[in-house]
Amino acid sequence: MSIQGNAVVAQSGGPTAVINNSVCGVVQEWLKGEPPGKLYGALFGIRGVLEENLLDLGRQPSHIIEGLRYTPGAALGSSRYRLAKEEDFARLLEAFKKHNIRYFFYIGGNDSMDTADKINRFADGVDYEIRVIGIPKTIDNDLPGTDHTPGYGSAAKFLAATVSETGLDLKGLVTSNRIVVLEAMGRNAGWLTAAAALAKREECDAPHLIYLPEVTFDRERFLKEVAGIYREYRFAYIVASEGIRYGDGRYVFAGGEKDPFGHVRLGGLADTLKELIEAELGVNVRGISLGTLQRSAAHFASRTDADEAYAVGAAAVQAALRGETDVMITLLRDETAGFYRCFTGTAPLSDVANVEKKVPAEWIAPTGSYLEDAFLRYAHPLIDGQVSPVFRNGLPDFVHLQNFDLPKLRRRLDRDVAGVIK
């Protein structure tokens, strides 16, 4: 069922601690046996295809490819470039034809799956045979059709450990700052924020309150709950999603800028809630915003997550070579096994694109500010195990893909920042 031709793999959107495992899975699976052509890596996402910045991954040393299994960031480079104009698709087709690309593997989240679906439909409309496979990744865990998303387990593990550690720091120190607000990523889905609940072992442990985008934020109820926890324990630890909203749909905090896909840029909620509590309750508050730490901490990655990120990359190649296209690889949990076990499957890209999977209402406590045990049973297996990177001089010895066309890349970056950095 395979067709002769070359393949390209690209990464898109925000990286995760394990996204390079998927690249490793694609490369090692493609190079098994006799592949139907070369495998290229597109530098900086779909733009790498448009600008023909392609790296022959088959020429990379094997130890570099294997080292991707513990290296964070986007080894190929990522972007949030949006294919919006007809000429973008025409240029893409020209690049595909020029390099005889017949297989396209796109690693990303909701917007990336929409891009992959559009590429497949465009190619089909002009009768160009290509197999397009989406490979899921996002710490937000909001892709439908899959039990969970590679990248989520490691971010959840890091967040829960951070809450546990900083919660003990708060509890054990006599200071005027006895309330902490930690802001978690996740935009419109609270999966990562909910993972903070994994940190709690005893009733008084952090976190005490968790606020998800799935529950309307009520200012007065929030203040009442914080005050109640503070009175009971003499300290309070709050975890809130960057994407919580008021009843009228407004984000509690949002910046004025938007990304190329039209999403409002978030980040800054911790300071907003800090100021609210201090103004209304008169207690000093410490705000914590982890930012990209949530998706970068490969030194604390989940073994389960890393292995599954590799598995979806390998499964994408297998699906393409047996003739599938316009699908995203999924993870399917075996609920009958009596222990945690997952398999790979597929879902149509059109069913996945631009659809957000939310935390089920029945997994959220009736108060709206904590999680039920059903969520903990779902999430615990996803953070299991550790990844052991190679260390040098006491620090992880991460790898870098070789032979980037540095002059060309430099010119592109200079063009992108022109007029931005004076």
What residues act catalytically?
Answer: 140
Reduced to 3 states (helix: H, G, I; strand: E, B; else coil), residue 242 is: coil
Task: Report which of 104, 80, 78, 114 is spatially closest to residue 6, judged by C-alpha positions.
Answer: 104
198 near 383, Cβ under 8 Å?
yes
CA distances from 291 to 155, 269, 270, 301, 375 (A): 11, 11, 11, 17, 24
Contacts of 337 (CB under 8 A, 6+ apart): none
What are the phi and psi torsion angles at 100 (to 5°)? 50, 50
Burial of 1 (0-12, 13-18, 19+ CB in 10 A): exposed
Task: Enter the tokens of residue 198.
Answer: 């994994």
CA distances from 375 to 122, 251, 362, 385, 390 (A): 40, 25, 9, 19, 33
φ/ψ bin of 247: left (φ > 0), alpha (ψ from -120 to 50), beta (otherwise) = alpha
| H, E, C per residue of 318-343 | HHHHCCCCCEEEEEEECCCCCCCCEE
Q: Give the whole-angstrom CA distance, residue 24 versus residue 57.
A: 10
Q: Give the whole-angstrom CA distance, residue 17 versus residue 44.
A: 17
Computed from CA positions of residues 321, 322, 328, 334, in that sequence, does the dihedral angle turn out positive or negative? negative
145 near 333, Cβ under 8 Å?
no
Task: Report which of 120, 84, 157 is spatially closest to residue 320, judged by C-alpha positions.
Answer: 120
Angle at 277 between CA 271 and CA 279, to 5 degrees: 100
